Structure 1
Amino acid sequence: MFGGMGSIDERAWDDMDMDDQHDAMDDDEDETKDKEITLEQCLDEFTREEMLGDQDLWYCPRCKKHQRAQKKIDLWCLPEIMVIHLKRFSSTRALRDKIDILIDFPVQELDMTERVTSSAEDRARQMGDSPDEKQIIYDLYAVDNHFGGMGGGHYTAFAQNPVIKEWCQFNDSHVSSVNDPNTVR
């Protein structure tokens, strides 16, 4: 989850039993470490124009026929808190598999300004600001992870305490501090 363009409610976290400090990368000694793409590459792919195939024909309401078409997703405005859910499973007619590629994402200053199609004036009006160029910057404050396969697995999470700005890992009933925020994955 990314937060930006405003402030989060600064509710104090309840006192938690904290384990020793944790280095996030110790958990994943997988061979997939060398396979890595960036969040920016994922966003580029998400907004890329694509030709719909024969299995995905578009129904034209004017001529009332199914036909080939191009599809393009644009971002017109973004919320104060943005949740990015990455598709981590793939399936074809014959095969289903988990996508194990590591996604590199910024912990601070994910700049989405150039990805939003609407004009600067529209963005500024939405935010109640003057129509000067408004940057759309997000800082990461939570990540959830799935370890395992399609049939089952285990979830862990990382989250930043908004009051003291400290990162923690949540693994079932164990909560531990994270030494380096750049290792949150």
Structure 2
Amino acid sequence: MWDPVSSGSDCSIWDMSQLVDQAIDTLCKIFTEAAETVNDAPLSEFKQNNPSREQSSIIIDLFRIRTESAVTCLEFGTRDANEETTYCLPLSLGNESEVPLNKLVNDFLKEELLDGLYYCSNCQELRSAKQKTSICHPLPPVIIIQLKRFTFDETNEKLNALVEYPLESLKVLNDDNSFYDLVAVSNHTGNLIGGHYTTYAKNDEDKAWYPFDDDRICEITDEKDIVTKNAYILVYVKRM
């Protein structure tokens, strides 16, 4: 079984995007092996509703986010686009002490100016251009969001901004009618050198939230306690 930290929940920081990709790659193999040997009714129903495609799996269908990064030359309009696949949406925090999650998503999708930094294949020289990242349709059933709290520069600073993320009805894209509800939060206390991970998770049966801190588990009575400066990974599920 995949274990990112064999010594426990106290550990140094990894690049979470790589960690999530590794976890999902491992889970893909586990689900594939299980699907070949186990007659699982929910799995069969999911496959019927999601016809198999090339290089498709349960994990890919649940978590895959497709993005397109496009650069357009401002002189001749030459456009270069590249589509990528990720399983975790990484959002930069900036310098604000408090920021809504939707603003971070909008910043991720915001058009940027490349002032004389783009080599245009048509012009065959450096030109100014505009660069924009888009999230492609359809959105996945589950969206994992990474709040990029670590700078990974000479300062190794951790950003302790309070990200105001909704517990319900997150709308990721303005042109998509899907709403997402929060089901889990991974928290990190400490710094780049070392720290401690805890998790808040929502029980789908009683709809209550529970903190998981080593062997300490109890119900969260005030949902305001779920939104903290320690939030690092957010897991949202599309409302059906």
Which bin holds the TM-score, normalised by the shorter protein? 0.5 to 0.7
For 1:52, the equivalent position in structure 2 comes to 114
For 2:197, the equivalent position in structure 1 comes to 155
For 1:74, the equivalent position in structure 2 comes to 134
For 2:103, the equivalent position in structure 1 comes to 41
**Contact 2:105–2:172 (Cα < 8 Å) also in 1:** no
- Output the CA distance in 2 between the equivalents of 1:156 and 1:109: 24
- Output the CA distance in 1 between the equivalents of 2:165 and 2:226: 9
- Output the CA distance in 2 between the equivalents of 1:174 and 1:65: 60
- Output the CA distance in 2 between the equivalents of 1:60 and 1:152: 44
- Taking a change above 3 Å as real, the CA distance of residues 115 and 176 of structure 1, as seen in their structure-2 partners, is farther
- Output the CA distance in 1 between the equivalents of 2:213 and 2:191: 18
For 1:177, the equivalent position in structure 2 comes to 219
For 1:97, the equivalent position in structure 2 comes to 157
- Output the CA distance in 2 between the equivalents of 1:47 and 1:63: 27
- Taking a change above 3 Å as real, the CA distance of residues 167 and 52 of structure 1, as seen in their structure-2 partners, is same
- How far apart are 1:148 and its partner, in Å? 0.6
- Taking a change above 3 Å as real, the CA distance of residues 113 and 47 of structure 1, as seen in their structure-2 partners, is closer
Determine which structure has greater relative contact order: mean sequence separation of CA pairs < 8 Å that are 6+ residues apart, divided by chain length.
1
Q: 3-state DSSP class of the match of 1:83?
A: strand
**Aligned residue pairs, count:** 132
**Contact 1:52–1:71 (Cα < 8 Å) also in 2:** yes
CA displacement, residues 131-169 of structure 1 (integer Å, 9 cap, x when unaligned):
xxxx21001000001101111111111000112211100
For 1:28, the equivalent position in structure 2 comes to none
CA displacement, residues 94-147 of structure 1 (integer Å, 9 cap, x when unaligned):
43311110101110111235155xxxxxxxxxxxxxxxxxx2100100000110
Return 5+ residue gaps in structure 1 as ranges.
1-8, 10-33, 117-134
CA RMSD, aligned part only?
Answer: 2.4
- Output the CA distance in 1 between the equivalents of 2:162 and 2:207: 25
- How far apart are 1:45 and its partner, in Å? 1.1
- Output the CA distance in 1 between the equivalents of 2:225 and 2:214: 20
CA displacement, residues 24-79 of structure 1 (integer Å, 9 cap, x when unaligned):
xxxxxxxxxx931110111121111112367xx44434455454432111222211
- Taking a change above 3 Å as real, the CA distance of residues 52 and 97 of structure 1, as seen in their structure-2 partners, is farther
Structure 1 residue runs of 4 or more that deviate by more than 3 Å after TM superposition: 57-68
Q: 3-state DSSP class of the match of 1:86?
A: strand
Return 5+ residue gaps in structure 2 as ranges.
1-41, 43-95, 228-240
